[in-house]
Amino acid sequence: MIEFRALRPDELDAWCRHCHSVFVGDVDGYFRGHFEMDPFKDTSLIFIAVDDGEIVSTVCVFDRTIWIGGRAVRMGGIGEVSTKSAYRRQGLAGKLLEISIGAMNERGMPVSVLFGNQALYQRMGWRFCGTSWTVVDAAKAALPEGLSIRAFDEGDLPCVMGLYDLFAGRLDGVVIRSEAYWKQWVLPQWRKPVVLARDGQAVGYFTGQKWKDAYVVDELCAAPGMERVLTDAVAHTAFSLGCGKVRVRSALLPELSGVRETEERAMMVRLNGEFCGVADSDALVQRMEACAGFFWVDGF
Specify whether 287 is located in the same domain as 244.
no
What is the reported pLDDT for 167? 87
Specify whether 244 is located in the same domain as 270.
no
Specify whether 165 is located in the same domain as 191.
yes
Residue 4 has pLDDT above 90, yes or no: yes
Specify whether 122 is located in the same domain as 8.
yes
Q: Please write the tens of the pLDDT for every residue from 84-127.
A: 999 999 999 999 999 999 999 999 999 999 988 889 999 999 99
Residue 19 has pLDDT above 70, yes or no: yes
Mean pLDDT, range 277-291, rounded to an integer: 83
Mean pLDDT, range 38-58, rounded to an integer: 97
Specify whether 138 is located in the same domain as 257.
yes
Higher pLDDT, 26 or 17: 17
Specify whether 141 is located in the same domain as 239.
yes
What is the reported pLDDT for 141? 85
Specify whether 231 is located in the same domain as 194.
yes
pLDDT confidence of 292, banded at 50, 70, 90?
Answer: low
CATH number at 73 reads 3.40.630.30
CA-closest candidate to residue 164, choices 153, 154, 176, 172: 176
Higher pLDDT, 286 or 83: 83
Specify whether 137 is located in the same domain as 252.
yes
Specify whether 290 is located in the same domain as 195.
no
How many other C-beta atoms can be found within 10 angstroms of the C-beta atom of residue 31?
22
Number of structural domains found in the chain: 2
- Whole domain around residue 282: which residue ranges? 3-127+265-298
Give the C-alpha separation, 274 to 283, whole Å: 12
Mean pLDDT, range 4-27, rounded to an integer: 91
Give the C-alpha separation, 7 to 49, whole Å: 9
CA-closest candidate to residue 242, choices 206, 205, 215: 215
Task: Report which listed range, 54-58, 143-147, 228-232, is most confident.
Answer: 54-58
Specify whether 257 is located in the same domain as 271.
no
Give the C-alpha separation, 184 to 298, whole Å: 12
Specify whether 138 is located in the same domain as 122.
no
Q: Please write the tens of the pLDDT for every residue from 241-281.
A: 999 999 988 878 888 888 888 776 678 999 998 777 788 89
Residue 35 has pLDDT above 80, yes or no: yes
Specify whether 7 is located in the same domain as 107.
yes
What is the reported pLDDT for 226? 93
Q: Strands 214-222 and 201-211, how do they pair?
A: antiparallel
